[in-house]
Amino acid sequence: MNVQFRLRTTVFFCTLSLSALLSLAHTTLASEFEISAMLGQMHSSDLITDNGTAIKVDSASNIAIGIAWQESNNGQGQILLNRVSHDFTSENNTPNVIDITYAHFNGVAMFRQQYYVTTISLGVGGAYLDADYGSDKLYPSATAAIGTRYEFYKNITIVTELRGYATLINKDDAIFCQQALCRANFDNSLWTDSTISVGIAIKY
């Protein structure tokens, strides 16, 4: 990962975090907000070679950070950032990496049972894709999730989540290419990722 990409990612994260905090200030329940951190395993779409042969993209560990505020007793607004690095091997057996940073604004519905809460989340935002051999690109993206929450201590909650991402891409974008040499190509115009995550949320 080059220094320029790290700087852009840092600025991107800081800008979104600032936006989340500003949104918190404009909500009627801004005094009650929540920070969550989750770890998971993410599975993605595959890529293809120039002649159409499939390139397997591995499943990889991901980390997610969420900033949420309580809109009502049964609903939250949330800014969610998710980061993953997928490995793949091109047809000449060269190892490659594609780094993806997801950033989404989500609405979270909460359905309370006796001992836990079931959540359903829908969101819109963007996906920033960066290939170590090639270039980077920002694409529009949507996300949906179902999860559970179990409060095991005052203001501390264990969260689990099954989440999917759908990113609209231009399959002709040559982000895996340098000059005329391409190590991979997009298979179609929709890039998908799915993750199973577990983490902790702290309410303030």
Cα(62)–Cα(74) distance, integer angstroms: 28
Q: Domain count for the chain, please give it.
A: 1
Q: With the C-alpha atoms ordered 133, 137, 141, 144, is the resulting torsion angle positive or negative?
A: positive
| Residue 177: domain span | 3-203
Give the count of alpha carbons within 13 A of 94, CB side only: 12
Query: How confident is the model at residue 28, as a pLDDT?
Result: 42
Interval 85-133: pLDDT, tens: 999 998 888 899 999 999 999 999 999 988 899 999 999 999 999 998 8
Interval 127-172: pLDDT, tens: 999 998 888 999 999 999 999 999 888 889 999 999 999 999 998 8
Query: How confident is the model at residue 8, as a pLDDT?
Result: 56
Query: How confident is the model at residue 138, as a pLDDT?
Result: 96
Residue 121 sits in a domain whose CATH number is 2.40.160.20
Query: How confident is the model at residue 29, as a pLDDT?
Result: 45
CB atoms within 10 A of CB 86: 21
Query: How confident is the model at residue 91, as a pLDDT?
Result: 80
CB atoms within 10 A of CB 159: 20
Query: How confident is the model at residue 9, as a pLDDT?
Result: 52
Cα(165)–Cα(167) distance, integer angstroms: 6
| Residue type for position 204 | Y
pTM: 0.83
* Helices (H), ranges, the chain: 3-25
Interval 4-35: pLDDT, tens: 544 455 455 545 544 544 554 444 444 589 99
Interval 51-68: pLDDT, tens: 889 999 999 999 999 999
